[in-house]
Homo-oligomer: A and B are copies of this chain.
Amino acid sequence: MSMLFERIALIGVGLIGSSLARRIRRDGLAREVVACARTRETIDKVLALGLADRVSADPAAAVTNADLVVIATPLSAYAEIGRRIGPALAPGAIVTDVGSVKSSAIRDLKPLLPASVQFVAGHPVAGTEHSGPESGFAELFEGRWCILTPVNGADMPAVAKLRQLWEAVGSKVVTMDPEHHDKVLAIVSHLPHLIAYTIVDTATNLEKDLQSEVIEFSASGFRDFTRIAASDPVMWRDVFLANREAVLEMLQRFTEDLTALQRAIRRGEADKLQEVFTRTRAIRRAIIEAKQA
């Protein structure tokens, strides 16, 4: 791989940020990686893991002279980060992010960045239920989508450069309208997480004796849900608040469909149940064919 950037500044070094750092350093995609982490504990971990050439607690110091800045923090930190890095960004720098909601990312960041930098929001659709700098790995993005959401007037060379970076780390890159992205992700990712969190919470609220058996006899289904519901609480809190409208709309549709099935169970409508359960198999087959399974 050839070097794509001189200095990449990574603001936030969790699962995504640390995976990107590992891959960039492994493949020599930048001459220098500068990381920014908020707590002493994370800074020490980043240094111990050798994820960056330098680590700073100050976002403004971290982005100085960087030709690429990647924001990889929870969404609620974006506005504050924008305020702090805005005046420190080098003219011509590309700024991007990896957040799961794109319209809020653009709303929070764009007005705070100087006209001399190119901002293109992005979202690598990849992750695990683990979090923190120690949980990243260089292959995380391999074969996964990265969705870029340039808005009107976006700088095409900057979009092309980001595409090169994400392809270099193994992703398939696509561009999409930010609002459309948020709708698609609401159903493929945000709603499933909300539901997994809910059912595990329902189990947590059971009578004590039942609860210990839920853990003991945890079967397929519930077990998968607990894995999803172990995902980072702060990141997901921010996702639901930032994508409120799309999540609530998908949740409304889901609740209607669930109520219909509940009614079919109560009334003993065997045919209706079998019909739905047969239909859902087709989607699984389509996903396997799309090689996303």
Contacts and interface: CB of A to CB of B under 8 A. Distances in A.
Given A196-B221, A254-B199, A233 B278 contact: yes
Nearest to A128: B220
Interface residues of A, number: 88
Contacts of A61: none
A187 B216 contact: no
Contacts of A213: 184
A258 B195 contact: yes
A125 B292 contact: no
A149 B285 CA distance: 36
A120 B269 CA distance: 29
Interface in A218-244: 218-231, 233-234, 236-237, 240-241, 244
A147 to B, nearest CB: 7
Nearest to A273: B237
A14 to B, nearest CB: 15
A292 to B, nearest CB: 4
Contacts of A265: 194, 240-241, 244, 247-248
Interface of A: 76, 125, 127-129, 145, 147, 183-185, 187-189, 191-206, 210, 213-231, 233-234, 236-237, 240-241, 244, 247-248, 250-251, 253-255, 257-258, 261-262, 265-266, 268, 270, 273-274, 276-287, 290, 292-293
